[in-house]
A and B are shown apart, each in its own frame.
Chain A
Amino acid sequence: MSAKMRTGQTAEIAGPTKANVIPQPKVASSMIKKAKRPLLVVGSNATNVKTNDGDLVDSSIRFLKTGVAVVATGHLVKTFRDRGAEVYSMQFMNLGDRLRDPGWAGFDGEGPYDLVLFVGTLYYMEWLVQSGLKNFAQDLRTISLDNMYQPNASWSMGSMPMKNWLTALDEILKELEEGK
Chain B
Amino acid sequence: MSFLTKAASEAGMTDKYTIRVGRGAVTDVEIREVGRAIVFGEIPGVVALVGCANYPKGGDEVAQIAEEFLKRRFIVLTTGCSAMDIALTKDEDGQNLYEKYPGDFDAGGLVNIGSCVSNAHITGATIKIANIFAKRPLRANYEEIADYVYNRVGAVGIAWGAMSQKAASIASGCWRLGIPVIVGPHGSKYRRNLLGRADKEEDWMTLDARTGEEKYVGPAPEHLFYAAETLEEAMVMTAKLSMRPNDTSKGRAVKLSHYIDLHKTYYGTMPEDLHLYIRVEADLPFTMKEEILGVIKEKGWEEGKIGMLDPTLLERMVRRK
In contact, B227 and A93 (Cβ under 8 angstroms)? yes
Please judge, given known A-B contacts A93-B193, A93-B195, A97-B195, whether A75 and B233 are in contact too, CB under 8 Å.
yes
Quick one: which of A67-113 are within 8 Å of B by CB?
Answer: 73-75, 77-78, 81-82, 89, 91-94, 97
Closest to A101 in B: B197
- Within the assembled complex, what's the spacing in Å between the Cα atoms of A78 and B193? 25
Please judge, given known A-B contacts A91-B229, A93-B226, A94-B195, whether A75 and B267 are in contact too, CB under 8 Å.
yes
User: Is A44 in the interface zone, CB < 8 Å from B?
Assistant: yes
In contact, A125 and B230 (Cβ under 8 angstroms)? no
Cross-chain contact of A92 among B191, B229, B267, B269 (Cβ < 8 A): B229
Binds A, one of B3-11, B181-189, B207-215: B181-189
- Within the assembled complex, what's the spacing in Å between the Cα atoms of A94 and B225? 11
User: Is A124 in the interface zone, CB < 8 Å from B?
Assistant: yes
Q: How many residues of A contact B (CB 8 A)?
A: 19
In contact, A125 and B233 (Cβ under 8 angstroms)? no
Please judge, given known A-B contacts A75-B266, A81-B268, A93-B195, whether A128 and B233 are in contact too, CB under 8 Å.
no
Please judge, given known A-B contacts A75-B236, A93-B193, whether A125 and B268 are in contact too, CB under 8 Å.
no
Quick one: which of B213-242 are within 8 Å of A by CB?
Answer: 223, 226-230, 232-233, 236-237
Cross-chain contact of B229 among A77, A78, A82, A125 (Cβ < 8 A): A125
Chain B residues whose C-beta falls within 8 Å of the C-beta of A94 in the assembled complex: 195, 223
Would you call the interface of chain A mostly helix, strand, loop, or mixed?
A: helix
Chain B residues whose C-beta falls within 8 Å of the C-beta of A78 in the assembled complex: 266-268
Can you list 26 A-B contacts with CB-CB less than 8 angstroms, sorted by A residue number?
A: A44-B229, A44-B230, A74-B228, A74-B229, A74-B232, A75-B230, A78-B267, A81-B268, A81-B269, A82-B268, A91-B229, A91-B233, A92-B227, A92-B229, A93-B193, A93-B195, A93-B226, A94-B195, A94-B223, A122-B56, A122-B185, A122-B229, A124-B185, A124-B188, A125-B185, A128-B189
